[in-house]
Amino acid sequence: MFTIGEFAALGRVSVRMLRHYDGIGLLRPAAVDPHTGYRYYRAEQLGRLNRVIALKDLGLTLDQVRAVLDDRLDAAELRGMLRLRRAQLAAQLAADAARLAGIEARLRMLETEGRMTTKDVVLKKIPAVRIAELTAVAPSYETPDIGPVIQPLYPELFRRLDAARVHPTGPGIAWYEPEGDGEAVIVHAGVTVGVDPSAAADFAVVDLPALATAATIVHHGSMDEVEASMAVLARWIEENGWRAEGYAREVYLEYCQEEPDKGVTELQIPVSRR
């Protein structure tokens, strides 16, 4: 037999963990010296220890591990438990991938700081425009919240326009407005059209009003990296004594859903004098 230290080394676990497993009845030692209290284990117990570790790595609790090892779960219950864990891990992977993409976008944004200057900002009047649009609600105006909401809207909008035989007459335009008193934002995914509103259409046709004065800048690349361009706009607005009025409109001069890095977007922020 092996001492607890030897068995821990063979099983690649800590002595403390073996004592815990003994305490909760998950893995009892083969023998305990009645005088010293020393625990001893047999080689065949490594199999149970390895199964404990494997099931823990799947995310099962120790109570669930004990139920599996003691045959208190039937095959259907075990499959259900593992499918639930698979779904949890898939959701975690998706969340981690989104966070990683956000970090990479922030890094690229930092690398591009300084390439654009406030000289790239143009102050101009924006005429009224008619658009066909679909809307949805995003939790906030932050890029990680906006992207997943607006991206599926455009393919669906173009599908509906095609079914209605409505052809765009100009670029896509996204605009935003607050939803209630919280951080949520109504996302409007639109494209310029020349048709009248129709109750029979499964999309809205609205007229975006003219902007008397807007600070604008052309953003090149993915909208995941738009913060750098927004920062330049903000600096220009502050330095020149203007006040931003609401969210920026996004005019997709070159809309590249499959290759977002090739996109070209004009950002238009309505402004007024302080």
Q: Note down pLDDT in tens along the chain; length 274 residues.
A: 899 999 999 888 899 999 999 999 999 999 999 999 999 999 999 988 888 887 887 788 888 888 888 876 666 776 777 788 788 888 888 888 877 876 776 666 556 555 556 678 999 999 999 999 999 999 998 878 888 999 999 999 999 999 999 999 999 999 999 988 888 999 999 999 999 999 889 999 999 999 999 999 999 888 877 888 888 888 899 999 999 988 899 999 988 777 888 889 999 999 998 7
Residues 180 and 188: their CA atoms lie apart, in Å, by 16
Q: Give pLDDT, residue 109.
A: 58
- Residue 36: per-residue pLDDT: 92
Task: Say what the pLDDT of residue 93 is.
Answer: 87
- The pLDDT value given to residue 202: 94
Cα 70 → chain centroid: 40
pLDDT at residue 57 in the model? 78
pLDDT of residue 118: 67
The whole-model pTM stands at 0.60
Give me the amino acid identity at 260.
P
Do residues 8 and 18 touch, judged by C-beta distance below 8 A?
yes
CB-count burial class (<10 Å; 0-12, 13-18, 19+) for 264: middle
Distance of CA 274 to the CA centre of its chain: 36
Q: Report the pLDDT value the prediction gives residue 56, as an integer from 0 to 100.
A: 84
Q: What is the dihedral of CA 50, 51, 53, 56, to 10 degrees?
A: 180
CB atoms within 10 A of CB 69: 15
Output the pLDDT for position 6: 92
CA–CA separation, 77 vs 172, rounded Å?
50
Distance CA 179, CA 185 (A): 5
